[in-house]
Amino acid sequence: MRIISGRYRGRKLIPPRDNEVRPTTDRIKETVFNILAPRIPGARVLDLFAGSGALGIECVSRGADEVIFVDMSPESVALVHRNLKGLDGNFRVVQADYAAALGRLDGRFDIVFIDPPYGSGLGEKAVSEIFARGLLEEDGVICYEHSSDRRYEPQEGAVSREKRMGAVTVDFVRKKTVGMVTGTFDPFTRGHEAVVKEALRLFDEVVVACLVNPEKECMFTPDERVAIARAALSDEPRARVIFSEDTAVDAMKREGADALVRGLRGGEPDEYESAMSDYNRERGADTVFVSPDISGEISSTAAREALRKGDFRLLPEGAIITVGDILDNKRKKGDATA
């Protein structure tokens, strides 16, 4: 066992003598830290089930701002202290059960290592406790090491990137990011589809919220607008469509989204978009602007005018049949908006 990189690169670490304590091998550690390297300088780190302390010590060597080691075993705590001897840094060692320690810790962490005994079920419990107590920074990551014969399923509100290394798997767990694209969507156009696809590059999930605009007389009912958008996005499992009578900010907060996403017809937000962004920010909602290649085809007004002439070209391919069926039904009922 050794420190791989940083100020104390090459320094040997004392391995545990207890066979029940299973240290992370150098090969696995190298893989993990190749992924984590950009996050470590200045990070606040928690090493649960610390064992020898090798993972947290690697972060000390690489410039973490603070590292807290937790283990309930007196032997492991003593070993961590021995391996830390002669190292400079902001760190402390806590002898406690993981749950008790999580209940006492203050603040949030950028990186959390969880390496419990395999098959104990403690890893999943620790991840859940960290999320429940809000101990992870918004862009923080949990590195959960476990046996490859058991797959980890992220809890609601989390996503995981799995890295398998033979008999060992490390899941990099973080908070799910959610963006919200709002509008009347009367109807949902190719431009709207492009905005959602751009949003999916930035967020793990995108909520498309069909809202009410009392100043507009819509061609399609709320149910029809939702059906059209869902048909258009049927091949995007990470996008979901809702109808809401709330404001955009209230809908965003209710759905747990992180930001509103707006499509621009040009490269920079105009005066109206900038004013709306400022207005929403004052109410606790950030706005992310995207500029898809076909942003000129966002206009629902142009799509409605084209539809009245029998032209479906401004619609997403997946929505054409749905819109055609809706318009046929309207004509049969004598609906003047069709």
Query: Which residue positions form the known binding site for ATP?
Result: 184-185, 192, 263-265, 273
Instruction: Please give the annotated binding residues, written as ranges.
Output: 184-185, 192, 216, 248, 262-265, 273
SS3 169: strand
Residues 6 or more apart whose Cβ sits within 8 Å of residue 279: none
CA angle, residues 162, 39, 170, in degrees to nearest 5 = 20
**CA distances for 261 relative to 209, 225, 335, angstroms:** 11, 19, 33
C-alpha span between 302 and 291 (Å, rounded): 19
Binding-site residue set for substrate: 184, 216, 248, 262
205 and 177 in contact (C-beta within 8 Å)? yes
> Is residue 216 within 8 Å of 186, Cβ to Cβ?
yes
Q: Is 207 helix (H, G, I), strand (E, B) or coil?
A: strand
Amino acid of residue 200: L
Q: Can you tell me the distance from the alpha carbon of 42 to that of 176, in angstroms, rounded to the nearest whole number? A: 23
Nearest to 83 by CA among 105, 50, 57, 62: 57
